[in-house]
Amino acid sequence: MKFLDQAKVYVRSGNGGAGAVSFRREKFIEMGGPDGGDGGKGGDIWVEAVDGLNTLIDYRYQQHFKAATGGHGMGRLRAGANSPDIVLKVPAGTEILEEDNETVIADLAKAGDRVRIAKGGNGGFGNAYFKSATNRAPRHANPGQEGEERWIWLRLKLIADAGLVGLPNAGKSTLLAAVSAAKPKIADYPFTTLHPQLGVVRAAGNSFVLADIPGLIEGAHEGHGLGTRFLGHVERCAVLLHLIDVTGEDPVAAYRVIRKELKAYSPLLAEKDEIIAFNKIDAISEEDLAAKLAEFRKRARKTPLLISGATGKGVDDAMKKLLTIIENAKALARKDQPGVISEEWRP
Taking 90 as the threshold, does the pLDDT of residue 144 lie above it? yes
Which pLDDT band, with edges at 50, 70 and 90, does 294 fall under? very high
Note the pLDDT of residue 341: 47
List pLDDT tens digits, range 11-33.
Answer: 999 999 999 999 998 888 777 88
Alpha-helix residue ranges (DSSP H) falling in 152-273: 172-179, 251-265, 267-270
pLDDT band, residue 170 (cuts 50/70/90): confident
**Multiple choice CATH, 6-156, 3.40.190.10, 3.50.50.60, 3.40.50.1370, 2.70.210.12:** 2.70.210.12
Q: How far apart are CA 74 and CA 17, in angstroms?
A: 11
pLDDT at res. 219: 63
Same fold, 6-156 and 162-336: no
Q: Residue 267 carries which DSSP code?
A: H
Contacts of 315 (CB under 8 A, 6+ apart): 175, 178, 179, 307, 308, 309
Q: Which of 188, 163, 167, 164 is nearest to 245 (CA)?
A: 167
pLDDT score for 2 = 56
% of residues, the chain, pLDDT over 70: 88
Average pLDDT over residues 293-303: 92
User: What is the pLDDT, as a whole number, of residue 77?
Assistant: 93
Q: Over 80: is that where the pLDDT of 130 sits?
A: yes
Of 229 and 227, the structure prediction assigns the larger pLDDT to 229
CB atoms within 10 A of CB 154: 21
| pLDDT value at residue 190 | 56
Q: Is the pLDDT of residue 293 over 80?
A: yes
- When pLDDT is cut at 50, 70 and 90, the band that residue 145 belongs to is very high
pLDDT at residue 184 in the model: 66
Residue 234 in this model has a pLDDT that exceeds 50: yes
> Would the pLDDT of 182 be above 70?
no
Count of CB atoms situated within 10 Å of the CB of 319: 23
Q: Is 191 left (phi over 0), alpha (psi -120 to 50) or beta?
A: left
Mean pLDDT in residue range 178-186 = 74
Q: What is the pTM of this model?
A: 0.77
What is the tens place of the pLDDT at every residue in 310-319? 899 999 999 9
Given this model, what pLDDT does residue 264 score?
A: 86
pLDDT attached to residue 236: 83
Report the mean per-residue pLDDT for the chain: 87
Taking the C-alpha atoms of residue 258 and residue 164, their distance in angstroms, rounded to an integer, is 12
Q: Is the dihedral of CA 302, 308, 309, 313 positive or negative?
A: negative
Residue 148 has pLDDT above 80, yes or no: yes
Q: What is the mean pLDDT of residues 51-62?
A: 88
Answer whether residue 337 shows pLDDT above 90.
no
Got the DSSP string for 107-145?
A: EE-STT-EEEEEPPPPPPPPGGGG--SS-SS----PPPP
* CA–CA dist 322, 36 (Å, integer): 68
Average pLDDT on 204-227 reads: 72
More confident residue, 131 or 193: 131
pLDDT tier at 225 (50, 70, 90 boundaries)? low
**Better-scored residue on pLDDT, 188 or 103:** 103
For 236-254, what is the mean pLDDT? 91
pLDDT at 281 over 50: yes
Is it true that domain 162-336 has CATH number 3.40.50.620?
no
Domain locations along the chain: 6-156, 162-336
Q: Is the pLDDT of residue 306 over 80?
A: yes
pLDDT > 50? residue 345: no
CA 116 centroid distance within chain: 16
